[in-house]
Amino acid sequence: MEINRIKRNSRYPYYNTQPMLKTNIMRNYNIINLILIYFFFQPMFSQEKPNIIFIMADDLGYGEVGSYGQQLIKTPNIDRLSLKGMQFSDYYSGAAVCAPARSVLMTGLHLGHTRVRGNFGKGGVTGLGGKEGRVPIRKEDLTVAEVLKEKGYRTGMIGKWGLGEPNTTGEPNKKGFDYFYGFYNQRRAHSYYPEYLWENANKVMLYGNENEQNHQYTHNLFAEKSINFIDRNHQKPFFLYLPFCIPHSRHELPDNGIYTHEKGLTELQKKYAAMVTRLDETVGRIVQRLEALGIADNTYIFFTSDNGPAEITGDWKIFNSNGVFRGMKRDPYEGGIRVPFIVYHPQKIAAATKSDQVGYFADFLPTVLELIGERSEKKYDGNSIVGILHGSQKSFERAPLYWEFYEKNGWRATRFGKWKAIQNNLHHGDKGPIEVYDLYRDPGETFNLSESHPHLVDQAKKIFKTFSIPSEHYFWKHQQQGETEVYNN
């Protein structure tokens, strides 16, 4: 645009006011456009860090998902996560039972270090389910939710908590979660039609469930709350932890869905299959909502189970729930602790990839730290698996995995390399035999190699001795001389 100058003196030229007015209007117009563009795309600008969703089934066996070999139970949405993401073959829960598995996941510390090492412990409180010994995590027990909240994430948890009762240091809202909906107490979560749930610190009555009536189904409520949380928080980075209760007993649900008229299945088998498929449908709904909101490309979805299957005989034998693995929930063998594990991100993780990298729940917190570009001076028992997920690493050597367990007469176990060592009956002393298995050649743990490999027994003893720091809440019966109360039975 040509500008006419009017020379008022020799030092300071001035511009014609009419062209100047047009220039200012254009400049203001451009500024307004930039402002409108910023606010329209503001969710994108604020989404530099990824959303993280962690979905955890309850008592879902390694072999109960289609991508892990299941033939009878339909899980198309979970299978699709695997087809479009990464599936792990050698991944483990932090424990063989409910509460301690969650403690390992939340704190990044294995069972020799984390606060909650069993469902019950000395010095715990009386839970909402009526039993004593519920040990809550404490203020000093840093959780992944606290880490993410400090970094600007909106944090939510929907489902079964198990790490603290109301009015204790372990309430979810005190441990980093902005929003909580579900069960504090894992024993209360055995019912899918309870009289009440908790929303943050408030008891919410489920009208229609009084006197054993079945009108409000908890998993349906959890699914709706999950979608609602995503809707309310998708414009900023969020962490959504979904420890669902399905398919833990009792085996209750509104209907048997696609299995209603399935021939060759008992009524209990139909119910169990329908519960797993209902979980799968919720996974599908979550992915669809992420896509509809345009945030799927900036979201990591983790899917797993808290431990092995609760039942493998009788009606459950038909499902081959633990695959080739020996044992079930509460066992030290692979069937008790090896779980399905799938991670999905449409932009960062190559589709249909498989990994045999050994991993477990303690890896989650270090992995999250790397995903959001943060470093921590705190030492965790787990390792970040970001390199595996993004394809920059095929595998890495890691420290041994460690578990200890206070039920079933007590046991401890470790995996180091391809070797697995187990010591049972610790309530009767710590001098008992140690079993050793080669998981590469013998994943079903059928051949005990301890006699032919004494050096591996010695290595296991060193791990058992050094990996566990004694806890004030959990100890073996043979160490409880003079105690009148018995815990962890």
What is the pLDDT averaged over residues 76-96?
98
Residues 419-437: pLDDT tens digits? 999 999 998 888 999 999 9
Higher pLDDT pick, 388 / 23: 388
Would you give the end-to-end CA distance of the chain in angstroms?
A: 87
Chosen CATH of 51-390 out of 3.40.720.10, 1.10.3720.10, 3.40.50.2300, 3.60.15.10: 3.40.720.10
Q: How much is the average pLDDT of 291-307?
A: 98
Residue type, 286: I
pLDDT at 486 over 50: no
Return the residue matching tokens 């579900």. 182
The pLDDT value recorded for residue 283 is 98
| Average of per-residue pLDDT across 293-304 | 98
Architecture in CATH of 401-479: 2-Layer Sandwich (3.30)
β pairing state of 13-15 and 359-360: unpaired
Average pLDDT, the chain: 90
Q: Determine the Cα–Cα distance for residues 162 and 157; give it in Å rounded to an integer.
A: 12
Tokens representing residue 470 in the block: 């004694």
Listed in order, the ranges of the chain carrying CATH 3.30.1120.10 are 401-479
Q: Which of 74, 98, 162 lies closest to 361 in space, CA to CA?
A: 98
Handedness of CA 359, 365, 368, 369 (dihedral sign): negative
pLDDT band at 301 (very low <50, low <70, confident <90, very high): very high
A 10 A CB-CB count for 431 gives 8
pLDDT digits (tens, 9 = 90+) for 166-222: 999 999 999 999 999 999 998 899 999 999 999 999 999 999 999 888 999 999 999
Give the number of other Cβ atoms within 10 Å of residue 100's Cβ.
Answer: 32
Residue ranges matching CATH 3.40.720.10 in the chain:
51-390
Is the pLDDT at 6 greater than 50? The verdict is no
Beta strands 411-416; 401-405: pairing state = antiparallel
CB 95 within 8 A of CB 111: yes
Please, are residues 293 and 46 in contact by the beta-carbon 8 Å criterion? no
The whole-angstrom separation of Cα 68 and Cα 89 is 9
Cα 358 from Cα 432, distance rounded (Å)? 27
